[in-house]
Amino acid sequence: MQNLLRFLITYYHFLIFLALEFLALTALVKFNNYHQSIFFTTSNAVSGTIYQWQDDLTSYINLREENTNLLIENQTLRQRDSLINTLSSSNDSTIVEDSASRLVYSYRTARVINNSIFKRRNFFTINKGKNQGISKNMGVITPKGIAGKIINTGDNYALAMSVLHEDFVITPKINGRVIYGGMGWEGDRADELKINKVNAHYEIEKGDSVFTTSHSHFFPENIMIGTVKRVQQTDANYQELWIGLSNKIGQLGGVYVVKHHYIEELIELENSEDDE
Partner 1 sequence: MSSSRWIRFILVAFGMILLQVLVVDQIEISRFLHPQIYFMVLLGLPVNMKHWNTYIIAFVLGISIDTFTNTPGLNAFVCTLMAFLRYAYLANFTDKDWLSSNIQPSLYNADTINYLVSLVVFALFFHMFYFLVEQLSFRRFDETLLKTLYSTSLSILLILLLQFTFSPRVKNE
Rule CB under 8 A: which residues touch partner 1?
12-13, 16-17, 20-21, 23-31, 36, 39-42, 44, 46-47, 50-51, 54, 114, 116-121, 123, 159, 187-188, 190, 250
Contact call for residues 113 and 54 (beta carbons, < 8 A): yes
| 157/219 with CB nearer partner 1 | 157
Least Å distance, CB 127 to partner 1, is: 15
What are the residues whose beta carbons fall under 8 Å from the beta carbon of 149, sequence distance 6 or more? 137, 138, 139, 140, 160, 161, 168, 218
Report residue 16: phi and psi, to 5°.
Answer: -65, -40
| 162/212 with CB nearer partner 1 | 162
Residue from 269, 243, 221 nearest 168 by CA:
243
| 73/166 with CB nearer partner 1 | 166
| 160/224 with CB nearer partner 1 | 160
Least Å distance, CB 257 to partner 1, is: 18
Separation between Cα atoms, residue 95 and residue 98, nearest integer Å: 10
Least Å distance, CB 142 to partner 1, is: 18
| Cα Rg, the chain, nearest whole Å | 22
Least Å distance, CB 47 to partner 1, is: 5
